[in-house]
Structure 1
Amino acid sequence: MTRPGIDYEAVFQAVPGAMALLTTDLVYADANEAFLQMSGRTRDQVVGRYLFDVFPDNPTDPSATGMRNLQASLMRVAAAGERDAMALQRYDVEYPDRPGEWEKRYWSPVNAPVFGPDGQVALLLHRVEEVTELIRARGGRNGGDRARVLEAELYTRARELQEVNERLRRAHAREREVALTLQAAMLPVPRALGNHRAAVRYRPAVGALNVCGDWYDLAELPGDRIAVAVGDVVGHGLPAACVMGQLRSALSAAVRVADGPAAALEALGLYARDVDGAESTTAVQAVIDCHNHTLAYSSAGHPPPALLHADGTVEFLDRATDPPLDARPEDVPRPQAETAFAEGATLVLYTDGLVERRHEDIDTGLRRLADCLTRHGRADAETLADALLAELLPPGGNTDDTALVVIRL
């Protein structure tokens, strides 16, 4: 956020610590004066150039892996959107005016993501502390021998850290795959609901572990009625997938016997108290009466469903919103509201990944959703679902998973 009276470019340049900004393609976008002085490079030698073109690893020393380690760290930050503090690294830095001559340097780096308006990682902030003199000072009188010992220890620790990070990466990838498989097995298979067509979509988060907490559910009820719900469990990976499965099944059963969506969510809230990891789950339940052309709904802290009327107007169903599950100690009846619709209307339920972005008010995302529905409202359910995902999710994928249900009424 830009605030009047603060020159953030000047602040960046004045920071006493060495800092640089890189693109997700590892090209230097900017560097402050402290970074340029520490590295012995000019701005023209750094900005706009690829990481390894500016600071290649020493080709004559196989143990010089600092830049390769840095590359791996930056790529992890770009993929996961999470800060990464690296172990102490040895860098062999080539003298800019003496090609082929290298100086051993020791740096302590921290890398962090900088997010853009769409919630995606836009830049990588690379902060470095120079510790070369500290390493040399610890060598004392026998500086050469002790420095070599410290260097060997440093190299060993860096390799160990690399191996640990790689094992964690593989473990996370396996957990993500298992969680996605489990979730796919627990979500209902799309099918026709009487004379109505429903399209369902699930898109996992890209490059992160915060997947598998979202669900959807559809069911035919007696009296020419349709129950539809979406929900979002706080958490990620296998634990979230397991909680999601329990809550989805519980709500699907409750809505079949409860007197309306509010009563179904009340029953789900009581059940959630005995499920570890279910606290703060959000959900919305709607029951569509196809004969009377009415729609009853209740929300437990979830983004409002969107009802696209036959005349092209969009109504957000936000008149029956209550806190998420298990958010208050006492039992309080949940609100329920009802609205009418005409034949040809479309109901859209979704999880927050479709409309929420970091550093952006949710109303902005809701306006994007309404605009997209207005422009594509005449399309069939499947085409409309695809259009919503294509226009509302970031091109490279979202950092949160997304569930979506579209029903033509």
Structure 2
Amino acid sequence: MSEPSEIERIFREEYGRVVASLIRRFGDIDLAEDAASEALLAAVERWPVDGVPPNPGGWLTTTAARRGIDKLRRESHRDAKQQQAAMIVDPTPHEPTGLVEDDRLRLIFVCCHPALAPEARVALTLRLLGGLTVPEIAAAFFVSEATMGQRITRAKKKIAAAKIPYRVPSAQDLPSRLAGVLAVLYLVFNEGYLATSGPTPVRVDLTSEAIRLCRVLRSLLPTEPEVAGLLALMLLTDARRTARFADGVLVPLMDQDRAAWDGSEIAEGLSLVRECLAVNRPGVYQIQAAVNAVHSTARTGADTDWSQIAALYAQLFSISPTPVVALNRAVAVSELDGPAVGLAEVDRLHLPTYHAWHATRAELLRRLGRYDESRSAYDSALALIDNDAERAYLTRRRDEL
């Protein structure tokens, strides 16, 4: 017998493949999502009784396709019924895959169409193919759930109104869509590395899939330094996964057991960073990878070269002037020039809806001996966190005051 939580885990792992298959078959985003959801309900009803099938992804895809066919039959005219029913056994070969053979990566390129606004491309792709929920995507973009829901709905309507085809991307399509594809892979990895909510702090299904797809992308675009940079960033970050938690509590980078880091991932990541440095066309992901390379080569937390990290974040801010980058630079500055200087920079940012801003203020205020203010900042951070491991860590830090 399979528990509902196990069924949901399997479904989340297979969601992108199921939806991708249905979009390719029906050419309709809403129909694909509805059919996939109905397949999940069917699994919840059947699997606890019958057991998980040997090929759960195939079962979900077949069930979802049948539900989609049923809906088309109900909504279509009488003359089209037999044509729609025949789709499930249509002997017509699939359209050639072209350059992008991987099913998920190909449809990420399709959804990152230039006719859509950049944020809409990423949000829609994360929803359809990354398996992320609307609240998870909203948290990644620092907007409300309602705003993100409207953004995704508008993107779907734009695709329908403009009759944007679900065609296989050509070689000419790849460069113009690369930024959106990289952003999708980056956000999928981030959600897996520290889940927005839930009792499980890490979703290895998401981190592993993001790394796999980035490897496929690198094989397609081997001379693009940002692709190599993103892969390096993922590998260097993922290398620390097993050391990041102890008894369900988040362990910050400076306190981690570095002997537990994955040496093979670090070696591959460092090799990619050196490759990017040789190309000398710095980009957002390459610089972030370089920051992680500095952390990865420090024998202990005390050996960290914070001056180099601060310089890298300054360079990153010059090409991507976001508040999150500024916050990270402020942390490095606090290690170099002291908590008072770092706190002044953090306070200038004022990010009341971002939990990491409050958590950073709490730590700096703690170091300055301003314990009442620190406790209040911890409370503000905790009010914005749903991840149990991170909540446990910040609660412990607050209660130690």
TM superposition score normalised by structure 1: 0.30
| Structure with a larger share of its residues in helix | 2
TM superposition score normalised by structure 2: 0.30
